Amino acid sequence: MRVVRSPNQDERPPGAAVSLAIIHCISLPPGEYGGDAIERLFTNRLDPAAHPYFRGIHGMRVSAHFLVRRDGELVQFVPPARRAWHAGASRWRGRSRCNDFSVGIELEGSEQAPFENAQYATLIELLRELALPQLAAHSDVAPGRKTDPGPYFEWDRLLAALAGG
Ligand SMILES: [Zn+2]
């Protein structure tokens, strides 16, 4: 695992038991893989002049705990004990502000294309280590606002692997 520290993090509220993993996907520019734009976004170093899409997002203060690159590389931006800024306005089983009690995992990818085998392998290993009791899509906790990780993410495959130990 590679560690890149994001400044976009803070303390979790006192007593907030971390119980949920939230799966996202991101690619920057959208649909393009392999560059450093995601890491730049999460560290407030995205150059608004580098791509037209970046102009609209470069000032966002966002992060995730983890990013799984296309080749399966795991990058940590925020330690799970702290709060990353990934879910936004959100709600899960009656609790709002999901950032307070979740770990955010971004898969480098698009809602229009399949994810890589290496990404599932890394994600499964990570989720086993985190051992959180609940798992959701960003689209589950922010319905109507977010649609990631999208229809190509294979939940059955993930859940079967996690159930199989
Ligand atoms: Zn998301």
- Whole-number Å distance between alpha carbons of 34 and 31: 10
Chain segment 68-108, per-residue pLDDT in tens: 999 999 999 999 999 999 999 999 999 999 999 999 999 99
- Whole-number Å distance between alpha carbons of 51 and 88: 24
Residues with CB under 5 A from ligand 1 (ion): 24, 138, 148
- Whole-number Å distance between alpha carbons of 137 and 75: 19
In the chain, the largest separation of any two C-alpha atoms, in whole Å, equals 47
Give the Å distance between the CA of 165 and the centre of ligand 1. Answer: 27
Task: Starting at the earlier edge strand, list the strands of the sheet with 74-76.
Answer: 2-3, 74-76, 66-68, 102-108, 20-26, 134-137
Question: Which residues are the active-site residues?
Answer: 106
| Whether the Cβ atoms of residue 78 and residue 9 lie closer than 8 Å to each other | yes
Give the Å distance between the CA of 87 and the centre of ligand 1. Answer: 6
Give the Å distance between the CA of 108 and the centre of ligand 1. Answer: 11
- The verdict on pTM exceeding 0.85 is yes
Chain segment 37-49, per-residue pLDDT in tens: 999 999 999 999 9
